């Protein structure tokens, strides 16, 4: 029915979808009770809808503030872009719904997709290669430069799935991009410093670069002296869920606690390193596979039994204490192995442990 008939002898109540009238409810004007009922019902429905809209706006504002805090906290303990960028992507992806999120980082003279795994839209690449220094938004795309100290570090890209970006979402994305640019810039600067360091800042274990050097040394020593050498690859189970549920500061506390417990279970000459994220590598010189399995089981039980107090880190959490578990893969170096096989084969065993239930030790024979 046409809008001009709204004031006709038969009253009509408009039906809306996305602020557009899609039809009318029509009833007999002589039915006074039905008219009164519809007036009351529509008033109550209107109030309910307004409350839902306001609640959603408030929640989105809270989510935005939490995202900003989490992005700011990442740099306190993380400096590897391959670890930081997925975290940034996941935060933005949760916050900006109905859009695909892409993050590109500048590497020398080209832009590389860092999150997620693929982007097949040539329009996006064309816009990025033009290197816009200001936000670009179309009905389909949103392009937000990551600029710090007047240098373009990369771009956050949004691609429409359903509705185009709202003005509020654009405002949020600009603020998130500014914070992300600061985080990435500091990470790059910190990474340059850590190239010359040997220890991981958070756990006190060897960092990955130094771990790789020590692995080469221990393999050479094992072959020269003809002594056994084992590696344990370990991963904190469902660590992402810890970060998502309690925040990244609690995640950092878990990493610190796990590394401290591990160190307490090892010999002085055992070598522990942070391989990346929540993964650790332990080298056990002069150790056969049967002994290494016992060490791994001891580590697993010690972590499983450890209670972690998070009340001071996250006072708002209803849970004051949490527990985590670890999965472990064990491998002993063989005569015919290449230098990379020690860690790779321990990693394969770790993958099997995770694939078959977690919180367990698997030996790669």
pLDDT at 264: 94
With cut-offs at 50, 70 and 90, classify the pLDDT of residue 351.
very high
With cut-offs at 50, 70 and 90, classify the pLDDT of residue 365.
confident
Q: Which of 35, 218, 278, 297 is an active site residue?
A: 278
With cut-offs at 50, 70 and 90, classify the pLDDT of residue 300.
very high
pLDDT at 157: 93
Q: Is the peptide bond before 47 cis (omega within 30 degrees of 0)?
A: no
Nearest to 208 by CA among 199, 216, 217: 199
Contact call for residues 197 and 203 (beta carbons, < 8 A): no
Tell me the average pLDDT across 116-130: 87
Mean per-residue pLDDT of the chain: 83
**Structure pTM?**
0.56
**Tokens 């003005």 belong to which residue?**
167
- Which of 7-11, 79-83, 349-353 has the highest mean predicted lDDT (pLDDT)? 349-353
Read off the pLDDT of residues 216-238 as tens digits, 9 standing for 90 and up.
Answer: 999 999 999 999 999 999 999 99
pLDDT at 3: 42
Percentage of the residues of the chain whose pLDDT score is greater than 90: 41
pLDDT at 24: 59
**Tokens 């009509």 belong to which residue?**
12
Read off the pLDDT of residues 272-292 as tens digits, 9 standing for 90 and up.
Answer: 999 988 999 999 999 999 999
Per DSSP, the three-state class of 180 is helix
**Residue ranges of E strands in the chain:** 12-17, 20-26, 99-107, 110-115, 136-137, 141-148, 151-160, 229-236, 271-276, 279-285, 308-309, 321-322, 326-332, 361-364
**Cβ burial, residue 99 (10 Å; 0-12/13-18/19+):** buried
Provide the token pair at 230.
């084992």
Nearest to 350 by CA among 237, 271, 229, 259: 237
Contact call for residues 239 and 278 (beta carbons, < 8 A): yes
pLDDT at 69: 66
pLDDT over 60 (residue 28): no
The residues that bridge with 329 in the sheet, in sequence order, are: 233, 362
CA–CA separation, 293 and 153 (whole Å): 45
pLDDT at 6: 40
4 is catalytic: no
CA–CA separation, 296 and 327 (whole Å): 9
Alpha helices in 142-287 (DSSP H): 167-194, 208-225, 239-246, 248-264
């Amino acid at each position: 029915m046409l809008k001009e008939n709204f004031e006709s002898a038969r009253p009509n109540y408009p039906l809306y979808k996305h602020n557009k009238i899609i039809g009318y409810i029509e009833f007999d004007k002589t039915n006074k009770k039905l008219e009164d009922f519809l007036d009351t019902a529509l008033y109550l429905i209107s109030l309910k809808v307004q409350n839902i809209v306001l609640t959603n706006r408030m929640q989105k504002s809270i989510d935005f503030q939490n995202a900003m805090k989490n992005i700011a906290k990442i740099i306190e303990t993380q400096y590897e872009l391959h670890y930081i960028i997925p975290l940034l992507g996941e935060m933005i992806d949760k916050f900006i719904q109905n859009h695909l999120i892409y993050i590109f980082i500048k590497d020398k003279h080209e832009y590389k997709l860092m999150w997620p795994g693929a982007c097949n839209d040539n329009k996006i690449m064309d816009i990025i290669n033009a290197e816009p220094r200001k936000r670009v938004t179309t009905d389909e795309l949103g392009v937000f430069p990551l600029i710090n100290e007047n240098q373009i570090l990369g771009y956050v890209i949004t691609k429409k799935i359903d509705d185009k970006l709202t003005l509020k979402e654009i405002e949020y994305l600009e603020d998130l991009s500014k914070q992300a640019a600061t985080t990435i810039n500091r990470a790059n600067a910190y990474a340059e410093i850590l190239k010359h360091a040997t220890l991981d800042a958070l756990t006190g274990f060897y960092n990955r670069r130094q771990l790789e050097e020590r692995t080469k040394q221990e393999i050479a020593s094992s072959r020269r002296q003809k002594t056994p050498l084992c590696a344990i690859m370990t991963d904190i189970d469902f660590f992402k869920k810890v970060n998502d549920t309690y925040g990244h500061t609690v995640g950092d506390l878990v990493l610190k606690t796990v590394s401290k417990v591990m160190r307490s279970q090892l010999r002085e000459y055992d070598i522990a390193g942070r391989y990346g994220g929540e993964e650790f590598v332990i080298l056990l010189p002069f150790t056969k596979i049967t002994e290494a399995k016992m060490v791994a089981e001891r580590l697993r039980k010690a972590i499983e039994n450890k209670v972690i107090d998070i009340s001071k880190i996250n006072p708002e959490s209803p849970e004051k204490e949490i527990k985590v578990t670890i999965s472990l893969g064990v491998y002993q170096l063989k005569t015919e192995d290449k230098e990379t096989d020690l860690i790779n084969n321990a990693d394969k065993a770790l993958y099997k442990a995770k694939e078959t239930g977690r919180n367990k030790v698997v030996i790669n024979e």
